[in-house]
């Protein structure tokens, strides 16, 4: 076997492991849990979902209204009616500095984190501000993406496993998808923001013109200052993208030098 075949398998395997640990596994383990909480069926939540949430929420932002003893303990979070986000790693952070909100409580503004399968952070607070300026609540954004995200990642994982097991040239093209994940997320996230900024309603305290919120960096929405930056999950996507690209290059080299090109 050409040594580059082995390299491509190692690169792809590393990308698959990062994707599984960061996103796929916690999404599967926590799937449907928030619905059970909202439907007052917390007794039906599995121990796997509880343990997964507790593990993946270590070090994550918790609302200032959440009792400290409930941090990283899903069962206590439920009992105290605290705001609960999803378990997977957050990919992007967006925060708003509101003039009337205390700097001590929100030194960098009211934070909300975007995940493949949902949101976390001060979502209720953000929805209050969205309502104030005539924007939709956050749950209106990316509904389709959040519904199919887990299945898309499972399907992509399966194709990556095929890439690792078989040296078929066509599977090299499949790896373009994980290599493009950072760009795909930014494109989709940008569309979310565009949609929110161009579907304003009359229920706001005052009217503002349709606008494009800042995707990366600092910006303004009415009298609010916005901060939009990548967080840990996006860096995992970058690692997946780079490893997938290296897998493509190594596999292409192996196929070419082994005379296996069509």
Q: Structure tokens of 208? A: 């503002």
Mean pLDDT within 23-49: 93
d(CA 234, CA 46): 28
d(CA 59, CA 72): 8
Mapped onto helix, strand or coil, the DSSP state of residue 40 is coil
Per-residue pLDDT, averaged over 219-229, amounts to 87
DSSP helix/strand/coil, 199 = coil
**pLDDT value at residue 260:** 65
What are the tens digits of pLDDT across the range 139-158? Answer: 888 888 888 989 999 999 99
d(CA 227, CA 111): 9
| pLDDT, position 7 | 94
Name the band, by pLDDT with cuts 50, 70 and 90, for residue 249: very high
Two structure tokens written together for 80: 């105290």
- Judge contact between 152 and 19, C-beta under 8 A: no
Sign of the CA dihedral running 227, 229, 231, 233: positive
Q: Rounded CA gap, 165 and 70, in Å? A: 44
Would you tell me how many other CB atoms lie within 10 Å of the CB of residue 35?
9
pLDDT tens digits, 183-208: 999 999 999 999 998 988 887 777 78
Strands (E), the chain: 92-97, 110-114, 119-121, 217-221, 224-230
pLDDT score of 78:
93
So what's the pLDDT on residue 1? 65
Centroid of chain to Cα 138? 14
* Residue 243 pLDDT > 80: yes
Percentage of the chain modeled with pLDDT above 70: 98
Instruction: Tell me the average pLDDT of the chain.
Output: 90
pTM equals 0.91
pLDDT of residue 157: 96
Q: What is the pLDDT of residue 98?
A: 78
Which of residues 131 and 183 earns the better pLDDT score? Answer: 183
Decide if pLDDT at 129 tops 90: no
Q: Would you state the pLDDT for residue 47? A: 95
Q: What is the pLDDT of residue 151?
A: 94
């Amino acid at each position: 076997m050409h040594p580059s075949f082995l390299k491509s398998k190692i690169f792809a395997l590393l990308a698959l492991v990062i994707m599984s640990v960061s996103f796929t596994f916690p999404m599967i383990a926590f799937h449907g849990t928030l619905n059970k909480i909202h439907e007052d069926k917390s007794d039906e939540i599995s121990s796997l979902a509880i343990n997964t949430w507790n593990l993946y929420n270590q070090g994550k932002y918790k609302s200032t209204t959440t009792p400290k003893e409930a941090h990283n303990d899903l069962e206590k979070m439920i009992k105290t009616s605290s705001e609960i986000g999803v378990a997977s790693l957050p990919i992007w952070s967006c925060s708003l500095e509101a003039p009337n909100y205390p700097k001590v409580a929100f030194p960098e503004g009211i934070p909300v984190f975007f995940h493949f399968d949902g949101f976390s952070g001060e979502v209720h607070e953000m929805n209050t501000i969205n309502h104030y300026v005539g924007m939709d609540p956050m749950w209106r954004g990316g509904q389709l993406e959040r519904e199919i995200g887990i299945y898309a990642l499972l399907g992509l994982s399966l194709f990556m496993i095929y890439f690792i097991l078989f040296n078929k040239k066509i599977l090299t093209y499949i790896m373009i998808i994980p290599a493009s994940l950072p760009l795909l997320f930014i494109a989709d996230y940008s569309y979310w923001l565009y949609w929110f900024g161009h579907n304003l309603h009359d229920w706001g305290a005052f009217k503002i013109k349709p606008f494009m919120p800042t995707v990366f960096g600092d910006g303004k929405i009415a009298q609010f200052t916005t901060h939009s930056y990548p967080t840990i999950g996006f860096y995992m996507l970058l690692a997946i993208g780079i490893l997938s690209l290296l897998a493509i290059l190594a596999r292409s080299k192996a196929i070419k030098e082994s005379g296996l090109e069509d």
